[in-house]
Amino acid sequence: MKATATAGSNIAIVKYWGARDAALNLPANGSISLTLDAARTTTTVRFDPALKSDALVLNGRETGGAALAHVSAHLDRLRAFAGVRVPALVETANTFPEGAGIASSASGFAALTVAAAAALGLRLSERELSALARLGSGSACRSVVGGWAEWLPGTRHEDSYAVQIAPPEHWDVRDLVAVVSTEAKAVPSAKGHERAASSPLFQARLREVEGRLPAVRRAILERDFHALGVLAEADALSMHAIMLTSAPPLLYWLPATVELIRQVWQWRAEGLPCYFTIDAGPNVHILTLPQAVPHVAARLRALPYVQQIIPCGPGPAPRLIPNGA
């Protein structure tokens, strides 16, 4: 009744923004991401009849409130699947700081799903695990898949899950996360998804993404870094255009975000292979290739407003750790 799993977060090249069904986390559009190696969550789940209720230890601290409620609701889904009603202790830790622009809910719910399923002795396919992880946090479904993952949006729970486009070893693209703020966002992503459809431009984005998905798939399969980068920047700007035109508008950028966009364009003009993408926050992910990592990192370190650089590469699917923490 105990298992430990570790899962990587992911960075989306085509973003998930706006839900078709907010309760089921069915997305309005398909999305594509790279599962990351260095930004990981490791989670141990122990089901124990001696416990009075579920408990959560997050980065070494007992945590209640909304975070515990969210985890408990997710455990309920897995318990219902297994036909048990035993409370669980969940101990979870991230290798990266929260609020750094890395989706801890993606790696968190991927690790929780895989660990809880194993602890309950459930034999689930990757597809089933991905769909289940999605119920905890939409983009977690992509973190159940290693390497390059595509979330097939679907129209009901069973049909909305991620599949692998290419394994991590297919293509060594790097993501240097430039952290410019670790403050909690004024509007969490979940609330933002609800607001997406208020943008008069939203339906046009959905049509645009339909065309972008095959282009990104092709760029990945052909290892065309320029194509991938241009598509990644265009999709990030498209998502932020939807945010800016929502009612009321959502502005996740800080001054440093704009400065970094301009820097990335400048460095590229100077010959460095680098492109940005930006999630629902102010931090900037810089996509680059292994040989350029030292150069990009050196330039980032020279910028006073970059608080931290988190270097990531392609990561594997979640795995169980036999002698868990």
Q: Name which position in 82, 97, 259, 295 contacts its own copies (CB under 8 A).
A: 259
Residue 187 interacting with its own copies (CB under 8 A): no
CB of 211 to its own copies, least distance (A): 8
The region of 54-62, 104-112, 188-196, 230-238 touching its own copies under the rule CB under 8 A is: 230-238
Alpha carbon distance 275, 172 (integer Å): 15
- Cα–Cα distance for residue pair 231/24, rounded to 1 Å: 28
Q: Considering only 113-121, 249-257, 266-274, 306-314, which stretch makes contact with its own copies by CB under 8 A? A: 249-257
When binding is defined by CB under 8 A, the residue of 244, 293, 297, 309 that contacts its own copies is: 244
Strand 308-312 relative to strand 148-152, pairing: unpaired
The contact pattern for its own copies, residues 206-225, with x = CB under 8 A and - = no contact, is: -xx-----------------
Closest to its own copies by CB, 249 or 290? 249
307 touching its own copies, by CB under 8 A: no
Stretch that binds its own copies, among 40-48, 93-101, 106-114, 198-206 (CB under 8 A): 198-206
CB 179, CB 50: distance < 8 Å: no
- The CA distance from 13 to 212, in Å, is 10
d(CA 50, CA 71): 19
Both tokens of 16, joined, read 């998930």
Tokens describing residue 293: 């990592």
Cα separations in angstroms, 107 against 9, 68, 150, 154, 263: 4, 16, 16, 22, 29
- 237 is a contact residue toward its own copies (CB under 8 A): yes
Q: Is 262 left (phi over 0), alpha (psi -120 to 50) or beta?
A: alpha
Per-residue contact string for residues 108-137; x = within reach of its own copies by CB under 8 A: ------------------------------
280: Cβ–Cβ under 8 A, 6 or more apart, which residues?
17, 185, 189, 192, 239, 243, 252
Residue number, 126 or 224, with CB nearest to its own copies: 224
Integer Cα distance of 225 and 168 in angstroms: 15
Q: Are the beta carbons of 309 and 45 closer than 8 angstroms?
A: no
Q: Which stretch binds its own copies (CB under 8 A): 4-12, 41-49, 257-265, 311-319?
A: 257-265
- Judged by beta carbon, residue 156 or residue 262, the one nearer its own copies is 262
Q: Is 217 helix (H, G, I), strand (E, B) or coil?
A: helix
Q: Which of 234, 297, 309, 321 binds its own copies (CB under 8 A)?
A: 234
Under rule CB under 8 A, residue 261 binds its own copies? yes
For the CB of residue 238, give the shortest distance to its own copies in the complex, in Å: 5
Q: For residue 237, which of 273, 269, 265 has the smallest C-alpha distance?
A: 265
Q: How far is the CB of 155 from its own copies (least distance, A)?
A: 24
**Cα–chain-centroid distance for residue 48?**
30
Cβ at position 207, least distance to its own copies in Å:
7
Rounded to whole angstroms, how far apart are CA atoms 117 and 129? Answer: 8
CA dihedral 163, 165, 169, 174 (to 10 degrees): -100
Q: Does 280 bind its own copies (CB under 8 A)?
A: no
Which of 233, 286, 288, 324 contacts its own copies by CB under 8 A?
233
According to CB under 8 A, which one of 109, 151, 171, 253 is a site residue for its own copies?
253
- The pair of structure tokens assigned to 60 is 């070494």
- Contact status: 241 vs its own copies (CB under 8 A): yes
Any contact of residue 204 with its own copies (CB under 8 A)? yes
**What residues line the site for its own copies (CB under 8 A)?**
200-201, 203-205, 207-208, 233-234, 237-238, 240-242, 244-245, 247, 249, 251, 253-259, 261-262
